Amino acid sequence: MTTLMEPGTVTTRRSSRLMWAILGLVLLADALDVIDATVTNIAAPTIARELDGGVSLIKWLGPAYMLAMGVLLVVGGRLGDKFGQRRLFLIGMGGFTLASAVAGFSPDPALLIVARVAQGAFGALLIPQGMAIMTKAFTPAMLAKAFGLFGPVLGLSSVGGPVLAGFVISADVFGLSWRPIFLINIVLGVVGLVMAVKILPRDDDGDRSAVVDGWGSGLLAVTMLGLLYGLIEGSTNGWSVIPIASITVGVLFFAAFAHRQRTATHPLITPSLMKNRGFTSGLLVCLVAVAAGTGLLFVLSLFLQVGLHVSPRDTSLGLVPLTLGLVAAGFAAMGGLVAKLGRRLVFIGLTVDLVGCGWVLVLVDHSGTNVGLWALAPAFFVIGVGIGLSFATIPAVALGDAKPDEAGSASGSFSSIQQLASAIGSAAVTSVFFQTATSGPAHAMKVSLIVVLAVTALSLPVVALMPRKAPSEPQQ
């Protein structure tokens, strides 16, 4: 087996090719994550209709994946430190592939949701290992090249997920309808596993002294599950005792989680970070902005399909202007704007997002379900620019006051918060949409937009508490 024996050592052309192969493998893993996080935005109505899952299935398809990913992401990184990144990468890739197969062949909604949870859980084991492997094995020059490729590849993946779903469903390959959007992962996953076995450096010894806070992770998992289940169940079937009790349990377990973070010897979040005003305000802005933005993207897809009766393929194409705006703005932000403008860029991004949402609100209020895709395209692009500027900038700026020894915990915390916020946003905003859909999809879209506008606007004053500038050097 070919391995890199020393971190950062490049002695032959062969070792250079090996590093490029490792980079390709890590990018494949990250692209799979992004695609599977977004693919159900388009596919959800079709899946729910064919499996007779109803509104509840639509609400759970995205959050189930994001919930498991968010809760376990930091734990996945710690497990890699403890047992070796190569071993966890193989386990994560293998489990993700198997879970994708189960999702693709699921005969009922319950098994599909279980498979989505498993995808997120194994993805949380897989994703953190790639960066750690590259940091150990690459030269500084190669590492810089690698970081430069992540933005374009993940940006294309975020576009590719919904577009893939739309075209696959419309093509109805072999009469399988939506199932190939998951089944394709079997091929990609097997390719990834074969590559990983052959090229990843061995690190079987690991650091067995590394501590994973299982109790903290468990408390956080119950917190999020309680809140999401209560929200989705209550908005779908009425606010009976069960959803209210579920939300109450979630709140109580969150209090227990907060207490655990203050008292644990090795908490999931470094305690000093929670005393850092810039970091905690950035975390709050991230939670609100990502929740609102992710929920908005989901209900826009629902409105196009349910309200305008647009096909999945045309829906994916109709959302391309939004995604292009998001990708272009993200590249511009990380290409120098974030270092130059700092927290002002976060404020600009959120404000542009508000303008785009207001634009769509005016169009829907004026034309209802008669509004056309071409009329929506400019507003969608503006929304994409706003989301791209803010999403790319918030984590970078929030780390401006973090110490070097806090950077790892801070970055991991933001990755988890982004996933959990995505789960909350998808569940909350779609719940608003379906709760108000009895008065028509146009009314439901307007109410959803008003909620997104209000929540996003509330985050603007908090931006002033974030650090003025992003770190001068990238935090690893």
Could you please report the per-residue DSSP string of 107-157?
-SHHHHHHHHHHHHHHHHHHHHHHHHHHHHHS-HHHHHHHHHHHHHHHHHH
What integer best gives the mean pLDDT of the chain?
84
pLDDT band at 208 (very low <50, low <70, confident <90, very high): low
The phi and psi torsions of 69 (rounded to 5 degrees) equal -60, -50
d(CA 162, CA 202): 36
| Closest C-alpha to 22, from 11, 7, 37 | 7
Please tell me the predicted confidence (pLDDT) of residue 150.
Answer: 67
Whether the per-residue pLDDT at 97 is higher than 70: the answer is: yes
Phi, psi of 174 (to 5 degrees): 55, 25
Spell out the residues 6+ positions from residue 238 whose beta carbon is closer than 8 angstroms to its own. none
Q: CA 135, 128, 147, 467: dihedral to nearest 10 degrees?
A: -100
**How far is Cα 36 from Cα 185, in angstroms, rounded to an integer?**
9
| Alpha helices, H only, 264-372 | 271-274, 277-302, 312-318, 320-332, 338-341, 343-367
Model confidence pLDDT, tens digit, residues 374-402 = 999 999 999 999 988 888 788 778 777 66
Residue 124 has pLDDT above 60, yes or no: yes
Q: Kindly list the distances between the CA atom of residue 34 and the CA atoms of 16, 65, 98, 162, in Å, as whole numbers in the listed order.
A: 27, 11, 18, 10
18 contacts: CB under 8 Å, gap ≥ 6: 2, 4, 199
Query: Could you give the CA distance from residue 280 to residue 410 in angstroms, rounded to a whole number?
Result: 10
pLDDT at 52: 92
Q: Which of 317, 269, 237, 285 is nearest to 398 (CA)?
A: 285
Tokens 């408390």 found at: 219
DSSP state of 342: T
pLDDT-derived band at 363 (thresholds 50, 70, 90) equals very high
Q: How confident is the model at residue 327 (pLDDT cuts 50, 70, 90)?
A: confident
Q: Report the alpha-carbon distance of residue 273 to residue 414 in Å, rounded.
A: 12
Q: Output 46 or 279, whichever has higher pLDDT.
A: 46
How far is the C-alpha of 284 from the C-alpha of 383, rounded, in Å?
A: 21
Q: How far is CA 158 from CA 32, 335, 464, in A?
A: 10, 19, 30
The residue among 259 and 97 whose pLDDT is bigger is 97
Residue linked to tokens 């996933």: 419
Instruction: Report CA dihedral (78, 223, 277, 337) to the nearest 10 degrees.
Output: 70
User: For residue 446, is pLDDT > 60?
Assistant: yes
CA distances for 233 relative to 199, 401, 427, angstroms: 46, 40, 10
What's the average model confidence in pLDDT over 288-306? Answer: 89
Q: Which of 466, 333, 347 is nearest to 402 (CA)?
A: 466
| pTM for the whole structure | 0.80
Six-digit token string for 447: 């109410």
The pLDDT value recorded for residue 405 is: 59
Coil, helix or strand at residue 467: coil
Residue 258 has what pLDDT?
84
List the structure tokens of 273: 């970070």
Categorize the per-residue pLDDT at 151 as very low, low, confident or very high, splitting at 50, 70 and 90. Answer: low
Q: What are phi and psi of 283, to 5 degrees?
A: -65, -40
The string of DSSP letters for 397-414 reads HHGGG--GGGHHHHHHHH
- 228 and 427 in contact (C-beta within 8 Å)? yes
Residue with tokens 């309808």: 177
Predicted local confidence at residue 210, as pLDDT:
61
Average pLDDT over residues 90-104: 95
Name the nearest CA neighbour of 433 among 235, 263, 291, 257: 235
Query: Which of 1-10, 88-97, 279-288, 364-373 is predicted with the least confidence, judged by mean pLDDT?
Result: 1-10
Q: What is the mean pLDDT of residues 54-81?
A: 85
The DSSP 8-state label assigned to residue 305 in this structure reads: I
